[in-house]
Structure 1
């Protein structure tokens, strides 16, 4: 396996991956990474990476700073060892980093409703250990200095130290400033030697001060003397510093005991943080190389779309399409040297290893990778991206070893199979080896330049030819992989382009037997046919796309016509109704006058008044049967969806569709009341201004946005934050009117809501709800 990893440059890929870790914990995980052969494990790894990639896509970052590998600290503390201040700060920083990461993921899942089941499971296992972190931070600052506040004893001792230091310095400075002693000093300064305060005295005045000599200059001309006058003070200062050191040691010991008490939890946290750092390193790497999550199978099926080798510069790499394992299990790639055959082989091999390591692969969406139990590769080092040398003997030794282990769950990669020996014998060996590997049920990809193998796939079921394209005009390979077309030598075409005599070329062609010529002609015909088929497919795809666009345009125009028809009909009905209402109002006024006249004794019969009123009601415009039919058809075509504004005819109230129960029944929200209503009892008023493919937007996780927000029982600050977020979600959902239920209470929430919506840029207006909508306990807002 080690040889396969080296040959396919797996370790180089890991070096790229290492550039994306945040801590030494993740680095250790990557350094130990090897491909898995357990299908279930590989699936889980891929899901982890996909979740990490989803977090980066949504947030752009992940808080993994300040995490240290404190395993050794925890283990030492567990057995009673004492940690230094710097080590304790690393422990506290790691606890804090873990808690921040836990909070970050938990907020995404709980509040933003992003589905991250694996990551959420990991972070919920992280122990907060806040008491230990707080204890350390109260005693030690970020620079590893033990604070005075760590204990009252330490505060007292340090006060004494500062007092003694001040006294010593004061006495020494008075000596250095004295005119009598300045001539005896090499320099008028106070310095420290052996943790004692001293002054620099010239050699000849050593007896003038008495005291203790602690050091001398390199030349011996200056002695660093602790004058007798401050020896006692220095001794007191020394004793105070010893007490300080002992107290610090005691404090660190106590903190170390606390670390030891939770060492098991801390070690478990470190394992979780290492896994999470590793997952997000894979996600960052996937983003860098523009990788996607492959579909996985255990059936030996590979389907790569626009696959790229991750170690080749993105500006230079040529994407390739590869398929293997469905219609054929043997792929024979032929073509000239330096054409890209080996890079193709390495791309297939390395991407297989990456997929089985839980890494996303640099290919387009919907690519598929198999999980193999064994991967073998015989790739000569001369074909390595780094360039080296190999021989036929070493090739054959490696092939013999492969044939001893290969089975139906294996992927075998052969580069220049049979090369390095007599062409006839080499080709015969290559064919026999390929047949043996195929009989064992393995998937195999082999490259060769032997012309005998060009016809191999035509005589074998389950085998397919492929080649790397070569541009004869530019005399350069294009590095495109052509499945189904064997490679040709192009020797004559290249020689002609380089200026070789046509006479020599023709004589050379006569030396080749007719079978070889027929094969070459067949290959040319296949290449021409494939290019023609690709061109025709691209043209067909273009026409299909245009047809889809035309269809969508026609559908949109038809919908616009239907909507205009409905608008005109509704407007006509509205005008007619207004006219009738006005006429009724005038008639009622006239009838009332007639009654008054009747009361005054004028001759107006009651039945005349009733007849007049009846005729008036009959004067309302009636739709013709055809108009009724058109109206009914128009109403039927108006599809009601969740989020639409409707009128419930039975109650004469407006509301919003919350959900569709079945084809004929809908759940309708009218103010604070929800009820089930039949389709026939609903009249569509309008749709949300912003209509998405999903009628009610799914916001950060999948739940529907309701047409009302209930704030009752909320704290003021949290309620205001929820209102701002809810308005954004309602806008995304396409609502143009929503309700904020705040209750009556003290009025603080109501006032806060009113002030917030008043200054919100996307709120058109706000009003108190009607009595049947909740009254003063509900504010109805209109959105722009």
Structure 2
């Protein structure tokens, strides 16, 4: 999976999910080994995509993690406003998802998942009516709270009125500024330090310079005391409101937990559909026979979809082994990776960037030795590192597996390398695996031509432009373009004919 860049696909998938849990599920996705389960997952992706085409995407941005919240409520804990709003957000998202599902009448593979949602509009509105934000409880959360706050506003008005008279009276000259402020929740005025004795009252604070003292005038001490009593009552009433709402959450905790699970599952499924749109992908046809595939107009999903040249590649029907030859940078490795990666994606319930005529049968395992896996820590040469990987694959490959070898046998003596490549392919075939291998060796072209069940393929090269076309031609072995290129670059034809005649190739 790492070699074929499967995890990069999962990162792109996770970017399409709206919730943390949805992203976790995307990153944890692995190819399924059960064909029926893989078919169901593929159908879910297809149904979600079809719904999005008709109705747009359901909104999952309101999904919040509520597991720990529900557990605490169940143990009798009082939830804070942030936690209660998280619950309300899940309930609201659930209600909207139910409304989305109600827009269509026909049943889909998603119907049972939508059916797990219940929502709870009464509890949702109780929470959102009572709690304005994480820091604020609404006046209307209860009749008692409304009464307390009205009384607090009335008494605060009396304090301001009393202090206002002082600011405009004869004692105004003792003040540092003509403002009313608060210290420790009590209304005070800023008095010049040298006049602290001229304003009777309680000193609550001193400025950092010592030039100002903050005094609560004696005339408002009693009124401030009344405010403090009301603040205590307000706090108790808020605690009662939060406690009652928390008890309601505990009462419905199972239904809320089920809503959360269903929403994150739907988020995960619709993320797969969004990835399909992003990659311009489609569902392949499922093969009843496992371990075979035929990809039509397939693109590597990590290449620019506007520029990538589609390829047709198949294995497992007329032949069990495909030997791909062609020039460097001609697309051999990309063809190999496309075959392996798209098979992994389909087995994961993901649409693939290929024609809907593509057919895929589930492979038991996909093994790949691609790229330079040289291990510096173990001081292995490139050839040794590849051989170590190849041996590990040969130890485990078998019936129903797909094995991918890139530049098989490269990095050693050409004669030995070609013989080794033939032996490795022969062994993997003997074990029942399907094999796709890229190579430079002409001997492998001959091996493919003369061995039943082995097919040649090549990456096309345009001699006129001296550029690979990146098209894969099955049934045609690649040829050396050296002389054609040399002629195109101006080397006289009789020169390279003479060299050919002299036995120099």
Give the TM-score band, short-chain normalised.
over 0.9
SS of residue matched to 1:141: strand
Listed as ranges, the matches of 1:436-515 within 5 Å are 436-500=427-491, 502=493, 504-510=495-501, 512=503
Q: Confirm or deny: 8 A CA contact 1:330 1:445 kept in the other structure.
A: yes
Q: Distance in 1 between matches of 2:283 and 2:370?
A: 27
Q: Distance in 2 between matches of 1:500 and 1:472?
A: 14
CA separation of 1:492 and 1:182: change in aligned 2, threshold 3 A: farther
1:695-738 Cα deviation digits (max 9, x unpaired): xxxxxxxxxxxxxxxxxxxxxxxxxxxxxxxxxxxxxxxxxxxx
RMSD of Structure 2 on Structure 1 (CA)? 2.1
SS of residue matched to 2:461: strand
Listed as ranges, the matches of 1:592-603 within 5 Å are none
Q: Confirm or deny: 8 A CA contact 2:63 2:264 kept in the other structure.
A: no
1:484-513 Cα deviation digits (max 9, x unpaired): 111123122223333445565335424547
Listed as ranges, the matches of 1:125-140 within 5 Å are 125-140=116-131
Query: 1:311: how far off?
Result: 1.0
Residue 279 in 1 paired to residue 269 in 2?
yes
Query: 1:372: how far off?
Result: 1.3
Query: 1:93: how far off?
Result: 2.0
Match of 2:311 in 1: 320
Match of 2:10 in 1: 14
Listed as ranges, the matches of 1:251-290 within 5 Å are 251-290=241-280
Provide structure 1 residue ranges, at least 5 long, that are not aligned to the other structure.
384-388, 517-784
Provide structure 2 residue ranges, at least 5 long, that are not aligned to the other structure.
375-379
Larger Rg belongs to? 1
CA separation of 1:512 and 1:442: change in aligned 2, threshold 3 A: farther
Q: Confirm or deny: 8 A CA contact 2:81 2:133 kept in the other structure.
A: no
CA separation of 1:346 and 1:177: change in aligned 2, threshold 3 A: farther
Residue 231 in 1 paired to residue 227 in 2?
no
Q: Distance in 2 between matches of 1:50 and 1:198?
A: 67
Q: Confirm or deny: 8 A CA contact 1:25 1:273 kept in the other structure.
A: no
CA separation of 1:84 and 1:484: change in aligned 2, threshold 3 A: same
Q: Distance in 2 between matches of 1:473 and 1:512?
A: 27
Higher relative contact order (CA 8 A, sep 6+): 2
What is the TM-score of this pair, normalised by structure 1?
0.61
CA separation of 1:409 and 1:233: change in aligned 2, threshold 3 A: same
Which deviates the most, 130-139 or 325-334? 130-139
Q: Distance in 1 between matches of 2:452 and 2:321?
A: 9
1:382-414 Cα deviation digits (max 9, x unpaired): 89xxxxx98111111111111111011211111
Match of 1:201 in 2: 191
Match of 2:69 in 1: 73
Residue 378 in 1 paired to residue 378 in 2?
no
Q: Confirm or deny: 8 A CA contact 1:63 1:104 kept in the other structure.
A: no
Q: Distance in 2 between matches of 1:473 and 1:217?
A: 86
SS of residue matched to 2:204: strand
Match of 1:97 in 2: 93
Match of 1:172 in 2: 163
Listed as ranges, the matches of 1:622-771 within 5 Å are none
Residue 51 in 1 paired to residue 42 in 2?
no
1:82-116 Cα deviation digits (max 9, x unpaired): 2111221221121121122123213302xxxx342
Query: 1:448: how far off?
Result: 1.0
CA separation of 1:42 and 1:60: change in aligned 2, threshold 3 A: same
Q: Confirm or deny: 8 A CA contact 1:89 1:144 kept in the other structure.
A: no
1:163-204 Cα deviation digits (max 9, x unpaired): 2222222222222233x3333323222222322222222222
Which deviates the most, 231-240 or 262-271? 231-240
Residue 214 in 1 paired to residue 204 in 2?
yes
1:142-175 Cα deviation digits (max 9, x unpaired): 6663222222221222122212222222222222
SS of residue matched to 1:7: coil
Query: 1:209: how far off?
Result: 2.1
Q: Distance in 1 between matches of 2:151 and 2:488?
A: 95
CA separation of 1:196 and 1:492: change in aligned 2, threshold 3 A: farther
What is the TM-score of this pair, normalised by structure 2?
0.93
Listed as ranges, the matches of 1:279-358 within 5 Å are 279-297=269-287, 298-358=289-349
SS of residue matched to 1:338: coil
Listed as ranges, the matches of 1:543-582 within 5 Å are none
Q: Distance in 1 between matches of 2:481 and 2:263?
A: 57
1:60-84 Cα deviation digits (max 9, x unpaired): 3324342222222112211222211
